Homo-oligomer: A and B are copies of this chain.
Amino acid sequence: MAELIRVADGADPRLADYRDLRDVSLRKHLEAEHGLFLAEGEKVVRRALEAGFPARSFLMAERWLEGLADVLDRSDAPCFVVEEKLAEEVTGFHVHRGALASLERRPLPSLDSVLAGARSVLVLEDIVDHTNVGAIFRSGAALGFDAVLLSPRCADPLYRRAVKVGMGAVFSVPWTRTSDWAGALPALSERGFTTVALTLAPDAVPVDRAVAGLDRVALVLGSEGHGLSPRWEQTADRRATIPMREGIDSLNVAAATAIACYETARR
């Protein structure tokens, strides 16, 4: 059972995991170096624990203890109980949903273990916005995707904002990051997946036709600014597009992913 420890001093070193949560570059260093990530909100904290991530500690105001009593009962990590004002002082923002947990990252699984048994996979190249990464995981989970593969420079799915926007889908959908950017799509083709790249190229076929009748599919999405790299576009087995009104900016990548996942789920 988690030990409840009341803390009244914002400078207490035991709160280090929760420091300055709005400072993205600081947090990236801190979380990578200590192998931790943060979950925020009762539902997301519960899902992280249920998915088997070991808790380092919890931080919450008194009034959140009851809702998470069962989770705390099953954990040996300390729970720091603070005034809401102190939580705000430490984290740098108003903690709407009260509860925070610091959890241990796990080693990234191998590509083969992530793909084992998978039929529908998302592959993200250099999506740099944490909100988009979270939204993509959420849509993929809801529409029956089995795994996600990230390019070396794709944003971290365990960053707090991605976890929150994804409603914890990043805990339930197996994912890993490839270190072999150039060979990423061929590696999927070799394993029996048809890689289908979403693109605005004029010769791409509508996505419903691109995925029709396929067994194993890997949908390939490019970055927010420039879309897919030429390398990935060229090494994909097929190129697909979502028909849009002429003269309009493209869809946001999260919206395009939702539509492509929807069509792929119906193939």
Q: Which residues of A contact B (CB under 8 A)?
A: 131, 135, 138-139, 141-144, 165, 167, 169, 242-245, 248-252, 254-256, 258-259, 262, 265-266
A262 to B245, Cβ gap below 8 A?
Answer: no
B143 to A252, Cβ gap below 8 A?
Answer: no
Give the complex CA separation of A151 and B180 in angstroms: 49
Q: Show 24 residue pairs from A and B whose CB-CB distance is below 8 angstroms, ordered by the A residue.
A: A135-B252, A138-B251, A138-B255, A139-B251, A139-B255, A141-B249, A142-B245, A142-B248, A142-B249, A142-B250, A142-B251, A142-B255, A143-B245, A143-B251, A144-B244, A167-B249, A243-B265, A243-B266, A251-B258, A254-B255, A255-B255, A256-B258, A258-B258, A258-B259
A139 to B262, Cβ gap below 8 A?
Answer: no
Top 7 closest pairs, chain A to chain B, by CB:
A255-B258, A144-B245, A259-B262, A139-B255, A142-B244, A142-B251, A142-B248
Q: Give the residue among A138, A243, A250, A252 with the most B Cβ atoms within 10 A.
A: A252
User: In the complex, what residues of B have CB within 8 A of residue A265's CB?
Assistant: 243
Closest to A134 in B: B252
User: In the complex, what residues of B have CB within 8 A of residue A244's CB?
Assistant: 142-144
Assuming the A-B contacts A255-B255, A258-B259, A262-B259, are A248 and B141 also in contact, with contact meaning beta carbons closer than 8 angstroms in the complex? yes
Give the complex CA separation of A248 and B261 in angstroms: 15
A249 to B144, Cβ gap below 8 A?
Answer: no
Give the complex CA separation of A245 and B266 in angstroms: 12
Query: What is the CB-to-nearest-CB distance from A252 to chain B, in angstroms, rounded to a whole number?
Result: 6
Query: What is the CB-to-nearest-CB distance from A191 to chain B, in angstroms, rounded to a whole number?
Result: 23
**What would 10 more interface pairs be, CB under 8 Å, given A141-B245, A141-B248, A254-B254?**
A138-B249, A138-B252, A142-B245, A142-B248, A142-B251, A143-B245, A144-B244, A243-B266, A254-B255, A259-B262
